[in-house]
Structure 1
Amino acid sequence: MWPWLMALLLTGWVAMGAWQRCKPLPRRVGAAWPVRAVDEVRFLSDETWFDARGRRHLDQAIFDEMLAMIDQARRLVVLDVFLFNDFTAGVGGDGLRPLSAELSAALVAQKRRYPELEAVVITDPLNTLYGGLELDHLEALRRAGIVVVLTDLNRLRASNPLWSGLWHLGPRWLGNRPERGWLPNALGPGRVTLRSYLAMLNFNANHRKTLVVDEGEGWAGLVTSANPHDASSLHGNVALRFGGEAALDLLASERAVASWSGINLPGPMPPDPAPVAGNLRLQLLTEAAIRKALLAAIEACQEGDRLDLVVFYLAHRGVIEALQAASRRGVRVRALLDPNRDAFGLEKGGIPNRPVGRELVAAGIAVRWCATRGEQCHSKLLLRRPADGGETELILGSANFTRRNLDDLNLESSVRLLGPPDTPALEQATAFFERRWASSPERTTSEPFAAFDDASVWQGLRYRIMEATGLSTF
């Protein structure tokens, strides 16, 4: 019987893995929302730099703006964030901002001031190690009457089908209980079960970072790359704050995710698409629609145009090949990448950015590394500027330029802003890139490519295998 049982198990494993990789996606995943006219839009950034004595300096604006948005809300707050905890792992607490506590306290205080306020927090189950921990701040939110939604990741396609085929055949159904933990928590304090680590191997996530609030008689939204995670509080990040109909698109996109867990978000639906009047337009993008917009922006570049990007992970083969083709057309491409050496107190091996950086340089693309000393260059931004002074295009948000983030495997939210180059938000985004690119001894923000030009053939091969199979955390 053993050969038959093994054959049956193998067949079930392969069939389940294939189904989880290709199953139909829920409605609204991978959506490109309508292009909307927008008047009020602001570019925000969190930046770290070092002076001539090596001292770290912080210029941060994103979470102060989020707290201000919550503080003026009266009817509705919907927050969707990936990492929302006080874990510090190997980073230590010195100099870290308690972002999770600040954001939780702001939500609780606003709910107490305005009991009729409806507040919903959507987050990833990684924060509880997939049911293996109870977090005090999440429990405090629930006690205050705030709805906390742990995203049902089983609705997503498998990022790592080699493991997920087995996971959905057995371990998924065993359940998880915080009081049964016996293994150390690699991310922070406490002990967790073996099932927590088995769940982690699926490598998919609700990776969004968004906020929607009422603002007077209207609505405001914010899309960012920043997590309210204490160990991430020194990271470099970007955000776009906007109002109007696009904020209702953002609310509708979150309504779809909340519905997976049986939560119905209140608030109006966005209006039907209409002809856009005005020079400044904004579009919400989720999941694979972000990839399509990135590729369209790169392919639209002509000789002499500028194309700048700042990104934590660059690994998607379609994006890399499009950048190489743009360089061959005479587009002036610059890539500012994280060196991929720091991960919350642990040293990483430079994958994927170092082997990818070498590919880009070989194609004539200028590459520099963000200057990091323990923190991460966590932004995800692309900026297209035509040589003739025409319309500038900015894409930013939660999505790294990788297979997991761009191929409908994670939940992601980004925004696309189009308008005249002298639009304040686009001028601010341009100034942000130039500040980060033009480093000096008095204000060190980036380093030359040679500083981390150490990728081996083996690293390049590992990156290709990890990107293709899903056996990776990027």
Structure 2
Amino acid sequence: MTSGNTVANELAGKRRGWLRPWLLLLLAAYLGMAIYQAFKPLPDGISVASPLLPVSDVAFLADVTYLDAAGNRQSEQAIFDEMLRLIGQAKRLVVLDMFLFNDFAGEANGDYRPLSSQLARALIDRKAQMPGLEAVVITDPLNTMYGGLTLEHFTALRAAGVKLITTDLTQLRASNPAWSGVWYWCCQWLGNTTEGGWLDNPLGPGQVTLRSYLTMVNFKANHRKTLVVDVDDGWAGMVTSANPHDASSSHGNVALRFQGPAVAELLESERAVAHLSGGDIDFDPLQLRGSVVPEGPRMQVLTEGNIRDALVIAVQSAEPGDRIDIATFYLAHRDLIDALKEAQARDVEIRVVLDPNKDAFGFEKSGIPNRPVAAELHEAGIPVRWCATNGEQCHAKVLLKRSLSGDAVLYLGSANFTRRNLDDLNLETSVRLVASKNTPAIADAARWFERYWHNPEDQRLSVPYATYADESRWRYWQYRLMEATGLSTF
């Protein structure tokens, strides 16, 4: 009996000895891939900051949804009305880069504006009217569940001669390296298909393959929202937080429309995304750089990590008596939060309006990250209010800084104030507008923020901090872990 046990133990020991180096090899391969994907070089033209350039015809646009004094829901929309107008007069060039471009609604029900079909129809009609128009749409593969679905309006755009470029997200760094360390070895080679789907599409109708889900967990995105188009007297650009996504049509959003040399910089940043995805924009940005713009407001185009740097510098350079107003869908980035607390301590006047993170297309959200962050800001003495959302989201991403000197700087665009959006992970575009606080676009942005802060004429746009206050230490450290690791959707 003893001899039998000895033999069995020897065999088990040999098996363990044989398995151990293979397990170590697999672990090394996993860790090596995860680290490489988290820190690999960025593609050319990504994470840029343009020069600060003269700009003209700058307009601040906003979509606002609120309850009026009688409790009725009101929605004011300007952003896509202006976008449709600009596309409808284009003769030479339209370049549109949009994250969500679909009619998926998740579990939500509502009377949504059909933004996706309206925008697709505008592009198709204009291409038919102007056959020589270079019309390009760049979008994120989430719209097709990473190749698992066929979208009718995408098929129609291609048939009309519009270039449709789906962003190659594999070129980007991993925002969730814990999963990407596995996915790049096991699953990216599998591709995907629109045939044979057997799992429900989590975003809307249809069924998709398991491969769609496996790709989605990488949490990568081309999150940009931009437009470049020719106009009668030159070139116009638009940078926004709004998506042509039907179920997002009631979201609160903002945009800046502008003309001048900064439009060429915006186009060049989009050419970089087209190139990394195997596409091209058949138009030379140099043709846009000859615009003559009078002295006055100036603008800088910022992408990816350069957005973070500009935001943090803006807060760190604020002096006592300066005012900083923030309104954003997500606020989680530690560098920015620390800068805000330090600025508050040196008597910078700061106000923050946040989405309560409770609604996502019929699904209930946990309140992370904004509620734990709001508790931290509140403890530091920074006034916080919540958007009074009713199913929609407070989706803007705005920082407005006004100095005692009368100078002002406005930051807005696609980038939420989170690690995923600001640390060279997602593709993002924002702009920095430097001007006098009396410049119409700056003044309009200031009035927009004041409207949210003060609820004029009994319009219910925001509620006090106490309404959604959550000072749980457990949830605070949960947010910190999710932000640091990428194991989250924010």
For Structure 1 versus Structure 2, the TM-score category normalised by the shorter chain is over 0.9
Per-residue deviation, 1:40: 1.2
Is 1:76 the counterpart of 2:93 in the alignment? yes
Q: How does 1:75-474 map to 2 (within 5 A)?
A: 75-92=92-109, 94-216=110-232, 218-270=234-286, 278-388=295-405, 390-439=406-455, 442-474=458-490
Q: Distance in 1 between matches of 2:266 and 2:471?
A: 40
Per-residue deviation, 1:275: 13
Higher mean displacement: 397-406 or 7-16: 7-16
Name the counterpart of 2:40.
23
Contact 2:261 2:291 in 1 (8 A): no
Per-residue deviation, 1:274: 12
Contact 1:36 1:276 in 2 (8 A): no
Q: Distance in 2 between matches of 1:354 and 1:48?
A: 21
Partner SS for 1:168: helix
Name the counterpart of 1:14.
31
Report sequence identity in percent. Answer: 57
Per-residue deviation, 1:217: 5.1
Contact 1:30 1:288 in 2 (8 A): yes
Per-residue deviation, 1:276: 9.4
Computing the radius of gyration from Cα coordinates, the structure with the larger value is 2
Contact 2:374 2:384 in 1 (8 A): yes
Per-residue deviation, 1:279: 2.7
Per-residue deviation, 1:266: 2.2
Partner SS for 2:285: coil
Q: Distance in 1 between matches of 2:340 and 2:285?
A: 37
Aligned partner of 1:433: which letter? F
Contact 1:97 1:230 in 2 (8 A): yes
Contact 2:60 2:441 in 1 (8 A): yes
Contact 2:226 2:239 in 1 (8 A): yes
Aligned partner of 1:26: which letter? P
Contact 1:225 1:239 in 2 (8 A): yes
Q: Distance in 2 between matches of 1:468 and 1:203?
A: 14
Contact 2:407 2:435 in 1 (8 A): yes
Q: Distance in 2 between matches of 1:138 and 1:235?
A: 23
Higher mean displacement: 377-386 or 449-458: 449-458
Q: What stretches of structure 2 of length at least 5 have no aligned partner?
A: 1-17
Aligned partner of 1:6: which letter? L
Q: Distance in 1 between matches of 2:198 and 2:111?
A: 31
Name the counterpart of 1:64.
81
Aligned partner of 1:355: which letter? P
Q: Distance in 1 between matches of 2:331 and 2:44?
A: 28
Higher mean displacement: 62-71 or 298-307: 298-307
TM-score computed with the length of structure 1 as normaliser: 0.97
Q: Distance in 1 between matches of 2:19 and 2:162?
A: 52
Q: Distance in 2 between matches of 1:366 and 1:120?
A: 43
Higher mean displacement: 272-281 or 101-110: 272-281
Per-residue deviation, 1:422: 0.9
Aligned partner of 1:213: which letter? V
Q: Distance in 2 between matches of 1:291 and 1:319?
A: 8
Partner SS for 1:195: helix
Partner SS for 2:325: strand
Q: What stretches of structure 1 of length at least 5 have no aligned partner?
A: none
Q: Cα deviations across residues 199-253 of structure 1 (Å, max 9, x unaligned)?
A: 0111110000000011125211000000000110010000000011111111110
Partner SS for 1:369: strand
TM-score computed with the length of structure 2 as normaliser: 0.94
Q: Cα deviations across residues 140-178 of structure 1 (Å, max 9, x unaligned)?
A: 100111111110001100001110011101101011111
Aligned partner of 1:406: which letter? L
Q: Distance in 1 between matches of 2:415 and 2:382?
A: 22
- Provide the aligned length of Structure 1 versus Structure 2: 472
Q: Distance in 1 between matches of 2:127 and 2:294?
A: 37
Q: Cα deviations across residues 302-340 of structure 1 (Å, max 9, x unaligned)?
A: 111110000000000000000000000100100000000
